[in-house]
Amino acid sequence: MINKHHNLDNKVAVITGGGGVLCGSMARELSKHGMNIAILNRTYEKAVKVADDIHADGGTAIAVQCDVTNRSSVEEADKAVIEEFGSIDVLINGAGGNHPQGSTTNEIFQKENLLNEEITSFYDLTTEGFDHVFRLNMIGSLIPSQVFSKRMIDRGGSIINISSMSAPSPMTKVPAYSAAKAAIDNFTQWMAVYFATTNIRVNAIAPGFFLTEQNQKLLTKEDGSFTERAEKIIEHTPMRRLGKPDDLHGTLLWLIDDEYSQFITGICVPVDGGFMAYSGV
């Protein structure tokens, strides 16, 4: 039996990237508190799967195909949400990701790698790779925020951006992703100030290390055991484990429920098992 947030009953949440592991879990959780959920995802079938799960549990949800980097696509999604639910109270900007051409093979530069075509060094990173990552994470949060926040101006609402442990301290190998997530933190603070007098609150959640479809090959081997990188992550996480999707639920509910957080805007909350607090020694 969950402690229901009755203040969320019949409100509407739009979740981009809602077909993914973390945001799909958020969608299912918010539905349990009586919210109507619009699951936006570039891959429509993934959105449908989450919507079907919500329906099976007695909740209300719609699946909407949407490319968050395309304004026309987001505007069409907005029309679909309003046609179905009539209003929008919460936006979760969960769509994001990385790109191979924005990542290096090794953590640290080695001169001999310049002659190895199988290794991507800093000098092999492409502007196309960086552009893809910035568009998906940063522009993919900007456009939905512009489109959906207009529905909140007269009624108030909450925008939640998804940051990363890589924002305050960039992870090795992923310079494009780290820079894009740092931009998300800055953008969250900017929007919070800009919308402060409209009763639209803007905050961010920075998940620690969670196992998702995007990082599964990076963190686990074919036999399911952890890779060397995953072992290093767990070693630097004081709670000595990876995060589980439901570890994010409490922070999410707190930030979107005005009864609990009506004077909170412009913050980024780490949910990381102590990763940010640990110096490594």
Is residue 223 over pLDDT 90?
Answer: no
Domain assignment of residue 112, given as a range: 6-208+243-271
Which residues, 6 or more positions from 223, have their beta carbon under 8 angstroms from its beta carbon?
Answer: none
Q: Is residue 233 a part of any domain in this protein? A: no
pTM: 0.95
Q: Is residue 95 a part of any domain in this protein? A: yes
To the query of whether residue 123 is one of the catalytic residues in this protein, the response is no
**Number of independent structural domains in the chain:** 1
pLDDT tens string 69-102:
999 999 999 999 999 999 999 999 999 999 999 9
Work out the mean pLDDT of the chain and round it to a whole number: 95
Give dist(CA 255, CA 249) in Å, integer. 10
Using 50, 70 and 90 to split pLDDT, how confident is the model at 6? Answer: very high
Give dist(CA 62, CA 35) in Å, integer. 12
- Closest by CA to 180, choosing from 192, 195, 163, 194, is 163
pLDDT tens string 42-52:
999 999 999 99
Q: Is residue 232 a part of any domain in this protein? A: no
CATH number of domain containing 154: 3.40.50.720
Q: Is residue 238 a part of any domain in this protein? A: no
CA dihedral 182, 188, 193, 198 (to 10 degrees): 170
Q: Is residue 43 a part of any domain in this protein? A: yes
Q: Is residue 101 a part of any domain in this protein? A: yes
Q: Is residue 223 a part of any domain in this protein? A: no
Q: Pick the catalytic residue from 177, 194, 260, 278.
A: 177
What average pLDDT does the segment 52-61 reach? 98
pLDDT of residue 251: 98
Using 50, 70 and 90 to split pLDDT, how confident is the model at 1? Answer: low
Tokens encoding 178: 């780290």
pLDDT tens string 152-203:
999 999 999 999 999 999 999 999 999 999 999 999 999 999 999 999 999 9
Q: Is residue 280 a part of any domain in this protein? A: no
